[in-house]
Amino acid sequence: MTTNVLFLSTPKRWAQYQAPLMRALAATGLDFQLSEDLPPEEVEYIVFAPAGRGVDHDFTRFPRLKAVLSLWAGIETVVDNPTLTVPLARMVDHGLTQGMVEWVTGHVLRHHLGMDAHILGQNGTWNQIAPPLARERRVTILGLGTLGSACGQALASLGFPVTGWSRSAKSVEGITCLHGADGMHQALACADILVLLLPNTPATRDVLNAETLAQLPQGAVVLNPGRGPLVDDEALLAALDSGHLAHATLDTFRVEPLPPEHPFWAHPKVTVTPHIASETRADTAADVIAENIRRGEAGEPLLHLVDRSLGY
Ligand code: NDP
């Protein structure tokens, strides 16, 4: 029996993913058909990374559909799709994880070492102030999943005291793990640098607001490679303008691309990166997709399933 896989994305991504997916699916030993254009009644698995909003897709067109396999780690645009009644898997790809570890570590080190003063502020003054060691700079990560844990462990290995916060109780080597409402207060209070790596769900929206920003230490730095709606933009700008926060480095925004007139672009204490903290890498992600299709065909549980009730 042939397993029919539809690649539902853009022509550009098809060009990137076709060969790696062919290779990875062939390695499973399955007899398969992979195409960006299959008759809907034949489709059994969808590799999903649409150009528009996933919630706008009508999955009832695919009567034999067994699972939707997202190429993205964040699945907030499809998770509420009422026509999606089969399992939804998100992407956990070690290439994606490595990219996020590098982005977070780089931006933490920029602020920790005070690099801007030397890159932007050379004025002939021999101002010999050595930065503190990592052990004196506390980092908190909100979200201790695949990405938050990996970033936290990388920072801990450099000597930063790392605290992480999640919904459920966790234990991650090298990281002080907190959870729940009390845990959040404690996690924020020791965040000289705060990293947001939560998913965008109804429970996490505006998690960084006037009240929670006020719980950060004076002079804290915020990094948001998670999702734009995690942050109340007005409250963040107010905390920067009042001097309570020293800087915000933002990779994700409520509206993307970030409109040219948005105050973040011109704010002296904001660094904008255009949602490039990390991305799924075709060569490594293809193995994850193929493994899930193999599991689906073997009747084994799929990896990285989304809990639709929690939204991640
Ligand atoms: P995971 O699902 O592995 O981890 C999510 C973490 O958030 C878990 O620790 C989870 O807690 C925690 N969490 C979820 N809801 C809550 C809540 N209400 N309160 C407290 N903690 C909560 O996701 P990933 O680590 O793979 O990815 C995280 C996010 O990173 C993605 O959803 C996406 O938005 C973003 N991302 C950004 C990219 C970029 O380039 N900027 C690239 C890829 C991803 P628990 O452990 O208890 O379940």
146 lines ligand 1 (CB under 6 A): yes
pLDDT in tens, 226-263: 999 999 999 999 999 999 999 999 999 999 999 999 99
Matching residue, tokens 């397993």: 3
Q: In this structure, are 191 and 173 located in the same domain? A: yes
Candidate list 90, 111, 112, 227, residue with the active-site label:
227
Listed residue (125, 128, 131) closest to 111, CA to CA: 131
94, 101, 185, 197: residue to mutate for ligand 1 pocket, most atoms within 8 A of CB: 197
| pLDDT computed for residue 121 by the predictor | 83
- Boundary residue ending a domain (254, 272, 290): 272
Bridge pairing between strands 175-179 and 220-224: unpaired
Which mean pLDDT values do the consecutive 10-residue runs of the chain (312 residues) have?
A: 97 98 98 98 97 89 98 96 97 98 98 94 90 98 98 98 98 98 96 98 98 98 98 98 98 98 98 98 98 98 97 96
Listed residue (157, 204, 200, 201) closest to 184, CA to CA: 204
For atom 3 of ligand 1, the residue with the nearest CA is 145
Distance in Å, CA 226 to ligand 1 centroid: 7
Q: What does each C-alpha distance from 163 to 91, 140, 273 come to in angstroms?
A: 25, 5, 25
Q: In this structure, are 128 and 77 located in the same domain? A: no
Residue 160 placed within a domain: yes
Distance in Å, CA 143 to ligand 1 centroid: 5
What DSSP character marks residue 305?
A: B
Q: In this structure, are 114 and 182 located in the same domain? A: yes
20 lines ligand 1 (CB under 6 A): no
Q: In this structure, are 74 and 130 located in the same domain? A: no
For atom 5 of ligand 1, the residue with the nearest CA is 145
249 lines ligand 1 (CB under 6 A): no
Please give the number of the atom of ligand 1 that sits closest to the Cα of 148.
25
**How much is the pTM?**
0.97
Residue 167 placed within a domain: yes
Listed residue (103, 131, 95) closest to 289, CA to CA: 95
Helix (H, G, I), strand (E, B) or coil at 288: helix
For atom 44 of ligand 1, the residue with the nearest CA is 73
| pLDDT computed for residue 142 by the predictor | 98
99 lines ligand 1 (CB under 6 A): no
Which tokens sit at 268? Answer: 């002296």
Q: In this structure, are 70 and 108 located in the same domain? A: no
Which tokens sit at 130? Answer: 């050595």
**Residues whose CB falls within 8 Å of the CB of residue 149, separated by 6 or more in sequence, listed in order:** 164, 172, 175
| pLDDT computed for residue 260 by the predictor | 98
Read off the CATH number of the domain in which 46 is found: 3.40.50.720
Sign of CA dihedral 179, 248, 151, 51: positive
Q: What does each C-alpha distance from 26 to 7, 31, 35, 286 come to in angstroms?
A: 16, 8, 14, 11
Bridge pairing between strands 67-70 and 32-35: unpaired
Q: In this structure, are 156 and 221 located in the same domain? A: yes
Q: What does each C-alpha distance from 232 to 35, 62, 151, 155 come to in angstroms?
A: 41, 39, 24, 26
Residue 41 placed within a domain: yes
Give the phi and the psi of residue 166 in degrees, each rounded to 5: -140, 175
Query: Number of folded domains in the chain?
Result: 2
Determine whether 227 is an active site residue.
yes
| pLDDT computed for residue 52 by the predictor | 84
Q: Is 29 exposed, middle or buried (0-12, 13-18, 19+ CB in 10 A)?
A: exposed
Measure the CA angle with vertex 52, ends 34 and 144; round to 5°: 85
Measure the CA angle with vertex 148, ends 10 and 196; round to 5°: 80
Rounded CA-CA distance 238/205 in Å is 18
Q: In sequence order, which ranges of 197-232 are alpha helices (DSSP H)?
A: 210-214
C-alpha 134: how far from chain center: 24
Rounded CA-CA distance 225/250 in Å is 6
Determine whether 262 is an active site residue.
no
76, 96, 198, 208: residue to mutate for ligand 1 pocket, most atoms within 8 A of CB: 198
98, 153, 170, 312: residue to mutate for ligand 1 pocket, most atoms within 8 A of CB: 312
Rounded CA-CA distance 100/274 in Å is 14
32 lines ligand 1 (CB under 6 A): no
**Residues whose CB falls within 8 Å of the CB of residue 129, separated by 6 or more in sequence, listed in order:** none
Give the phi and the psi of residue 230 in degrees, each rounded to 5: -65, -20
| pLDDT computed for residue 131 by the predictor | 95
Residue 193 placed within a domain: yes
Q: In this structure, are 14 and 108 located in the same domain? A: no
Domain holding 203, by residue range, is 95-272
Measure the CA angle with vertex 76, ends 71 and 82; round to 5°: 100
Q: In this structure, are 87 and 179 located in the same domain? A: no
198 lines ligand 1 (CB under 6 A): yes
